[in-house]
Amino acid sequence: MAEISKELLLEKFEKAFGDKDNASVYFAPGRVNLIGEHTDYNGGHVFPCALTIGTYGVARKREDRKLRFFSANFEDLGVIESDLGSLNPGGDRNWTAYPKGVIWAFGQKGMEVTQGMDLLLFGNIPNGSGLSSSASVEVLTGFILRDLFGFEVSNQDLALIGQFSENKYNGVNCGIMDQFAIAMGKKDHAIYLDTATLDYQYAPLHLDDARIVIACSNKKRGLGDSKYNERRQECETALKELQEMVDIRSLGELDEATFEKFSPMIKDGNRARRARHAVYENQRTKEAVNALKNGNIKVFGQLMNASHVSLRDDYEVTGIELDTLVDAAWKVPGVIGSRMTGAGFGGCTVSIVKGSEIENFIKTVGEAYLSKIGYAADFYVVDIGDGPCKL
């Protein structure tokens, strides 16, 4: 997807707000998680990377307390106005809930925003795709507030504030992975993150002649109204049942053998399968990172495939759209690995595909999807980029 020029962004800002005086331009990436799905709120490991597509913002401080928002992705909504006195958790039903949530969260953390702002956003992440457009907006807003108001916060703090705002302002019980991957992104590296401790290391992604291809199912979904919170609840209950016998703080502390030994403590078959996924996926993520360090991209791909099977059968978050994309991908020559990525229930798959086979991959998987699902998927060949910046 093409980069969006600074000139175009300032032009759009001027059209929305009357002039572009004192406006600055910013960018925060989207992210894709290569392996380690639904482990982040279970105290496990994840392995995401930031992308070169994301959310652009143009912002300037106002002298009053008015907030004016405009999205070039939802132009028909026009300029949405509110003010600093009307930030109300759970009260917003449009995209402005994300930037407002972050402004509110800064205040909750003792960094009160006392002046309003004009903010234009323009993203080239497919909306509702599961590539974290919401977390991208949250980190971007935090980065802008730090720049405009001089708040002393690190990029890691920006991730935590973004997660806090999504949990408390928007009511989505998300883990830390999305915001962390976006705030801490590093070009050509994925982030091996222990979500329980926030210990992390950058791992160079040497894919040789292969590329990352994202297939967007175009099935729209919202995290808050999906079964995301339900899965989280099932894992929390399973953890409580296990804790009667095992001294652990999270499912991420268990290895497979210990889980198998104590899993009869979980009183419900569905809950046991959810917990099993969390434990086994965490181990797969550790193995995958080791495989990559040893230059064994083939094993990395096999672990991606196994991740999808577990998400389909044990966690039950894939659905016909994602399964169709992955099943078709597995049959294409040159595919090293393919799996759903993100929360599931629609959204995207991530595949590692040999460069010479990408054209065939997009054609073959696209045709299989269209014929089975009845509408088209979109494909993006992506690069791994840095975290947020001022342009």
Report pLDDT for 350: 96
Report pLDDT for 87: 94
CA distance 352 to 339: 10
Task: Judge whether residue 220 has pLDDT over 90.
Answer: no
Within 10 angstroms of residue 345's Cβ, the number of other Cβ atoms is 23
Top pLDDT among 184 and 174 is at 184
Task: Judge whether residue 223 has pLDDT over 70.
Answer: no
Please report the sign of the dihedral spanned by the C-alpha atoms of residue 130, residue 135, residue 352, residue 46: negative
Mean per-residue pLDDT over the chain, rounded: 93
pLDDT digits (tens, 9 = 90+) for 310-348: 999 999 999 999 999 999 999 999 999 999 998 888 889
pLDDT more than 90, % of the chain: 84
Averaged pLDDT for residues 181-196: 95
Task: Judge whether residue 2 has pLDDT over 70.
Answer: no
| Token representation of residue 385 | 């980029």
CA distance 339 to 308: 5
pLDDT digits (tens, 9 = 90+) for 119-156: 999 998 876 666 768 899 999 999 999 999 999 999 99
CA distance 331 to 336: 11
pLDDT digits (tens, 9 = 90+) for 88-118: 898 888 899 999 999 999 999 999 999 999 9
Task: Judge whether residue 224 has pLDDT over 50.
Answer: no
Tell me the pTM.
0.89
Packing angle between helix 133-149 and helix 155-168, nearest 10 degrees? 120
pLDDT digits (tens, 9 = 90+) for 51-72: 999 999 999 999 999 999 999 9
E strands of the chain, at which residues?
24-33, 45-46, 48-61, 66-71, 80-83, 117-123, 189-194, 200-204, 210-216, 335-341, 348-354, 378-382, 389-390
Closest listed residue to residue 280, CA positions, set 3, 45, 106, 26:
45
Least confident of 146-155, 165-174, 250-259, 357-366: 165-174
Could you give the residue numbers annotated as active site?
Answer: 178
CA distance 119 to 121: 7
For the 6-203 domain, the top CATH level (class) is alpha beta
CA distance 376 to 391: 34
Averaged pLDDT for residues 266-278: 97
CA distance 380 to 1: 7
